[in-house]
Structure 1
Amino acid sequence: MAPRPRNPGSRDLPANLYKKKDSRSGITYFTYRDPVSGRCFGLGKDKEQAIREAMAANFADAARPTLTERLVETKRPATRLFSAWIEEYRGIYLERGLAANSVRTALMRLKRLDAEFGANDIRDISTMMIANYLGAMAKEGKAQMARAMRSLMRDVFMEAMAAGWTNANPVDVTRAARVVIKRERMTLDLWKEIYAEAKQPWLRRAMELAVLTGQRREDIANMVFKDEHDGYLHVVQSKTKTRLRISTGIRLECLDLELGAVIKQCRDRVVSQHLIHHARTISLAKAGSQVWLDTISKEFSSARKRAAARLGLDLGKTPPTFHEMRSLAARLHAAEGRDPQQLLGHRSAKMTDMYRDIRGAEWIDVA
């Protein structure tokens, strides 16, 4: 029987050599299939090297073992510990030049993967092992973390295949955990009540900046006075590196707030380069120093609890966090006729729509 004709995309490859393009990264990987045993061997992403190795294997018929010898399991190469590959992958990841927060988070997650799978040969890590690991995480209510870990593990094994450490990616056939958004949205009325309970002047300024600019907590904490010039506040988002110029004339009529006026109020008797800074020395925090992210979250949480207690509100198990002001900003600016997608720095309208979703937190007026 004549062999089946090869696909058009593989006609320039020698017999038994196949290629597969990863849909996410766009990288093409090459695999050699032994025509006798049917076993597949990953040859990485270097096409010329893969062709040389495949041709050498095809012309090695004289030295090919007999069928009886092939039925006996061949001796495996030296153990390739997953922990050793994790160390290699760290270097690959650091060379990508990602944001500091992304790198820090990835390194912490790699440490967890090393503790869980590091003692295994990378070729022995099965789909079931990974599925059990991710499934247990999801059952603990950490579905978002499970999705993030799956994405990272998939990339870890993709790079391992490219480097010839393994022949398959056991993560590909696992299912991503379904994430259910639980955090409550923040309404304008609740924002006003929390604002009234904010004891620290810098917290009030941070809340004003958050609802006016729609920026993330990290970006607000990193804002400095020199970023305001030529009638704009210049922001380079720490997460996406998106560069925004926000007019200092932008305002929210519903709160009677204008960005330029808020920036001026950030200046006080203390010399500081940061808009959000300590007005006096407290413990290790010196006057004029930048307010830490955890401190922002902690003080905001305290003000939220005081507001809820004063009003007798039950905000549930997942009350709105400081980050929810990003969603509130999107909704308020859209209501006043501005494009929230540009303000938030989103590349797609779909992502902005997620922020504008009120999740049943506000009444809908029907005329």
Structure 2
Amino acid sequence: MAPRPRSAGSKDLPPNLYRKTDQRNGVTYYTYRDPITGRSFGLGSDKAKAVREATAANHHFSEKTLAQRMQSGRPFRDWCAEYRLIIADRGNAASTLRNVGMRINRLDDLFGDRDIRDISTREVADYLGAMAKAKKAQMSRAMRSLLSDMFAEAIAAGWTDANPVQVTKAARVKVSRQRLTLDLWQAIYAEAQQPWLKRAMELALITGQRRNEIANMLFRDVVDGHLQVIQSKTGQRLRISTDIRLQAADLHLGTVIQSCRDKVLSRHLVHHSKQVSRAMPGQLLMLDTLSKNFAEARDRAAEKLGIVFTNPPTFHEMRSLAARLHTAEGRNAQALLGHKSSKMTDIYRDSRGAEWIEVA
């Protein structure tokens, strides 16, 4: 069977080697198509390596080449490359693709040289169970979900006939991170030494948005009396009225936004007001900087209040506190947090015993 005519974008590649660019992250992946069987083999994003493998396969020589892999079966590593192209077409956010990509790399390292048809339920169960025993139950669940989808897609593509993940049990996740109360939030706020940390805490509490959204808010996002937010995790598009007032914390969104303006010219609501290391005045805050400084203020507040944390609340816990406070004042917390499911909002509204339940 003769290889199909080369497209203009593949003229610089050896026969049977093709490229495809992921439009979301700009990464180009290479695939070799067996001219005899028509089967495709993913070669990753390294062009030089892909060219070497394809050239070796075309001439049927070289140790540990693609030609040998074609004869040995269906390596899981090849399916990983195919699966990357599948998830790239699903319209996921760039951050989601990065996270999934890192997990695929782990699975590639573990099962890469194995024939996908030989990976057993016992091996998968042992791998997931080891993570759970290492107190990484959440990661175990995430890897199980990814593996199950990878095998489901492999079945649909004819690579294998069974999904060894289906009969495994998902690890139980015990939620242990402590919730923030309003009193503790106010104590942490009082200990915040940087003006930008106070602004970040105010924005997080009154808008209920994630750390990433807080760090990336721009003054130009305020349009027609609304703060426009595109959530990086879900792509959800929100327009939050600047007239929203959170009575419990005496916060008004329009006033908070106005207080973000200082003597430093910046596009970002939360920004450096002076040079710190390589960060210049006006630049946005790195996520780790937000988390680190919040944690330091939290620990100072806890010491003064005599609180001993077993699993201290993080910056993200302000999202849960916001859900509870806005719900108590009659607002739609699900819409504010950008959740598609009310069940997810209920999780955030659960105080996990941190607050008193008032019975009238």
- The alignment's TM-score, normalised by the length of structure 2, stands at 0.79
**Is 1:243 equivalent to 2:237 in the alignment?**
yes
* Structure 1: distance between partners of 2:359 and 2:150: 51
Which stretch has the larger CA shift, 200-209 or 342-351?
342-351
Shift of 1:77: 6.1
- Partner residue in 2 for 1:309: 303
- Partner residue in 1 for 2:142: 148
- Partner residue in 2 for 1:336: 329
Q: Which amino acid aligns with 1:206?
A: A
> What is the SS of the residue equivalent to 1:119?
coil
* Structure 2: distance between partners of 1:95 and 1:285: 36
> What is the SS of the residue equivalent to 1:155?
helix
- Partner residue in 2 for 1:25: none
- Partner residue in 1 for 2:34: none
Give unpaired runs (5+ residues) of structure 1: 1-75
Which stretch has the larger CA shift, 257-266 or 173-182?
173-182
**CA-to-aligned-CA distance 1:197-224 (integer Å, 9 cap, x gap):** 1111111101000100001111111111
Q: Which amino acid aligns with 1:125?
A: I
Q: 1:206 aligns with which of 187, 200, 207?
A: 200
- Partner residue in 2 for 1:171: 165
Give unpaired runs (5+ residues) of structure 2: 1-69
* Structure 2: distance between partners of 1:349 and 1:99: 22
RMSD (CA atoms): 1.3
Shift of 1:342: 1.1
* Structure 1: distance between partners of 2:265 and 2:192: 22
Bigger CA radius of gyration: 1
> What is the SS of the residue equivalent to 1:267?
coil
Shift of 1:315: 1.6
- Partner residue in 1 for 2:342: 349
- Partner residue in 2 for 1:160: 154
- Partner residue in 2 for 1:106: 100
* Structure 1: distance between partners of 2:91 and 2:332: 31
Q: 2:249 aligns with which of 229, 250, 255?
A: 255
Shift of 1:278: 0.8
Q: 1:277 aligns with which of 255, 263, 271?
A: 271
- Partner residue in 2 for 1:50: none
> What is the SS of the residue equivalent to 1:289?
coil
Shift of 1:111: 0.8
- Partner residue in 2 for 1:12: none
**CA-to-aligned-CA distance 1:165-215 (integer Å, 9 cap, x gap):** 111111111111111111101000000010011111111101000100001
Q: 2:86 aligns with which of 73, 88, 92?
A: 92
Shift of 1:95: 2.3
**CA-to-aligned-CA distance 1:68-119 (integer Å, 9 cap, x gap):** xxxxxxxx96321111211221122222231111011001111111111112
**CA-to-aligned-CA distance 1:300-328 (integer Å, 9 cap, x gap):** 11111111112221121x11111111110
* Structure 2: distance between partners of 1:349 and 1:89: 31
* Structure 1: distance between partners of 2:280 and 2:160: 52
State the number of aligned residues: 291
Counting aligned pairs with the same residue, the percent is 63
* Structure 2: distance between partners of 1:88 and 1:331: 43
* Structure 2: distance between partners of 1:348 and 1:121: 39
Q: 2:116 aligns with which of 97, 122, 125?
A: 122
Shift of 1:298: 0.7
* Structure 1: distance between partners of 2:164 and 2:141: 15
Q: 2:133 aligns with which of 128, 136, 139?
A: 139
> What is the SS of the residue equivalent to 2:187?
helix
> What is the SS of the residue equivalent to 2:249?
coil
* Structure 2: distance between partners of 1:194 and 1:300: 8
